[in-house]
Structures are given as structure tokens and as C-alpha cells.
Homo-oligomer: A and B are copies of this chain.
Amino acid sequence: MNNKTECGCSSCSNQLCTKKVPIFSALNELELNSMTSLIEHKVYKKGEVLFGEGSHLDSLFIINNGQVKAYKYSLEGKEQILYIFSEGDFFGEKNLLRDQEAPYYTEALELTRACKISKKDFRNLLNEYPEIGLKIIEALSERIEGLENTIQNMGTKSTETRMNLALLEFARKFGKETKKGVLVELPLSREGIANYIGVTRETVSRKLSLLQDEGVIEIIGNKKILILDMDILEDSY
């Protein structure tokens, strides 16, 4: 039962990924079950690259549990993180219809279980259940909205503000309420945060120290942050 490298337990693997994903919410239990045969389960270790930019992709990925960062490199070698995908998120959708190269790298930030559905199977599914198409349009629209906000933030907000917004995002996604405040398990290193908000790792260090001095957060080692005053972060909107 404790097989960490391969998800052998068919009872869990069958249900989880399809049930967790909004895009399949149009399907009922029976239909979901009929899908399970199409799904290939994969486990990725921390640091493992799922696929690289420019590689040929022939399936849709759905995250069962764990975290994956999607990123690109500029010519000068600077990394820009575009997404932090977690449970229930999907990616690789650009290749569902057209044969295209992957537009970014994806790498597991921790032990991650993912489901893969081949492009061909997925297209059949789309034909059979057109509502899935609508769900995808909806999901893509939401993603677009997030990207539009990111662009606005990068274009008009100060680095302080972007730092705050990143913390806020992590708190929402990965934070746990405690008596003293919201405890956040950071998905990224300082350098990762830097590559996410488009500054250098030193700047991230300095801004975090500043926030600690101001009593807004408490830095606990390198991986955790306790947010004492969420309101101040929320003001960044």
C-alpha cells in the first residue's frame, strides 16, 4: 500500500484525477469510470522535468497531487516562471487540436502524481461529450484572466506590491490558518520567487526581511513563512 514510486492502487488512481478536475464535472460517475482505461498514471520526483520547451507533446496532463512549475528561458538564460500548477490543474492543452511544440518547460516542485490522456483519446472524448469543450473554454478564459492580471501587475505595480501579491497567492493556495496567522509552505525557493515576479533573488531576500521588520510576516527557515497581517498584503490589489 505504500508504494511511493508507482501508483499501484487502482481504486484511488481511477477516481482521483478525473474527479478532481473541473473540466470533467459535466460527466457522471459512470462516464468517469469509462474514462479510466484511457488514463496513464505517472509519478515524477522533485526536480524531474515532465517535458521541455519545444518538445513534441501528445497528451494532456492533469495533476493528481503535487506541484509543477511551468517556465521559459530568455536568450540570456533568465528563467521566467509562468505558472505554478497544483492539484486539479491541467496543462498541455495547446496540443490538443494542433500539432505544436510545448511552449514552456514543466518541472515537478515535489513528488507529483499526474494523469496523462492522449490527444487522440481526448479528442474522442470531446466529440462524445461536447460539454467538456465548454468547460475547457471556461477554464482557459480563467487562465487568460489570470495572465492579464499578471501583465497588469508587472507593468504597473512596484516590486514591493508584486512581492505582496505573490505571498498572497501562495497563502491562498498553500496556506493554513493557525492561531498566530496564516502559515505558508513556500512552493519556491527565493530564486524561484524571484523568477516568478521578475526580480533578482537578492531583492526577494531584502523585501522579505523588510516585511519581517515591519511585523507583517515571520520568516521560518527557508521554506515557511508565517503571515501575521494578511490585511496589509490584501491592500496591494
Q: Residues of A at under 8 Å CB distance from B?
A: 72, 74-76, 78-80, 82, 93-94, 96-98, 103-104, 126-127, 130, 133-134, 136-138, 140-141, 143-145, 147-148, 150-152, 154-157, 195, 197-198, 237
For the complex, would chain A's binding face be called helix, strand, loop or mixed by DSSP majority?
Answer: helix
Say whether A156 contacts B98, CB under 8 Å.
no
Say whether B80 contacts A152, CB under 8 Å.
yes
- Tell me whether A80 and B156 are in contact in the complex, defined as CB-CB below 8 angstroms, given that A103-B148, A134-B133 are known contacts: yes
Say whether B138 contacts A141, CB under 8 Å.
no
- Chain B positions within 8 Å of A97 at CB level: 134, 137-138, 141
* Closest-CB distance, A101 to chain B (whole angstroms): 11
| Most chain B CB within a 10 A radius of its CB, from A93, A148, A154 | A148
Nearest 7 A-B pairs (CB), nearest first?
A155-B198, A74-B156, A147-B147, A78-B156, A133-B133, A154-B154, A80-B155
How many copies make up the complex? Answer: 2
Nearest B-chain residue to A103, judged by Cβ: B145
- Chain B positions within 8 Å of A104 at CB level: 148
User: A141's contact among B134, B140, B147, by CB below 8 Å, is which?
Assistant: B140
- Chain B positions within 8 Å of A80 at CB level: 151-152, 155-156
